[in-house]
Amino acid sequence: MYRATVSSISLLVFTAIAGCAAPPEELNLLLTRPTVERRFVVALQPPTKPAPINHIHAWQIKVTSPTGAPVSRAQIVVDGGMPQHGHGLPTRPLVTPMSVDGTYLLEGMKFSMTGWWEIKLAIQAPEGSDTVTFNTIVSTRPMVP
């Protein structure tokens, strides 16, 4: 009985450690990128670097055309989570337009643990629909510029 219990605990610990594996080395951490079908260029600005852990925070999103013109009247839906853990965001962030054309406020973001997170944006605007995914590493240590 003791061996079975120790084996079970060892397996659980190994599984937990494997789930917290380091993110892929080639992970793109750029916070400005074109959308999948290149309809828009999106810049994501976190409140701080690194983004806070276990606190609600807000990000700014800047959406432009490929030529740099601001995209107004877009509706943006947020999704995301931790690919290595198989769970989504712990909150349901919402995006609202700001007074500056092409700039939006993403409110209600929260990262509940350290590691690799994806932030997925689905954009619907008069210019069309498209998506973009950003990667971010949440750490308790400040990132080196």
Does 78 reside within a domain?
yes
Answer yes or no: is 111 within a domain: yes
H or E segment at 41?
strand 41-45
Flag whether 7 is in a domain: no
Q: Does 15 map to a domain? A: no
CATH number for the domain spanning 112: value is 2.60.40.1930
Task: Please confirm whether the linkage preceding 50 is cis (ω < 30° from 0).
Answer: yes
> Is 119 inside a domain boundary?
yes
**pLDDT value at residue 95:** 97
Helix (H, G, I), strand (E, B) or coil at 143: coil
Residue 16 has what pLDDT?
44
Q: Report angle CA 139, 55, 42 to the nearest 5 degrees.
A: 70
Q: Specify whether the CB–CB gap between 63 and 49 falls below 8 A.
A: no
pLDDT of residue 116: 94
Domain count of the fold of the chain: 1
The full length of the chain comes to 145
Per-residue pLDDT of the chain (145 residues), as tens digits, is: 555 544 444 444 444 444 456 778 889 999 999 999 999 999 999 998 778 889 999 999 999 999 999 999 999 999 999 998 878 898 999 999 998 899 999 999 999 999 999 999 999 999 999 999 999 998 876 544 4
Domain that holds residue 76: 23-138
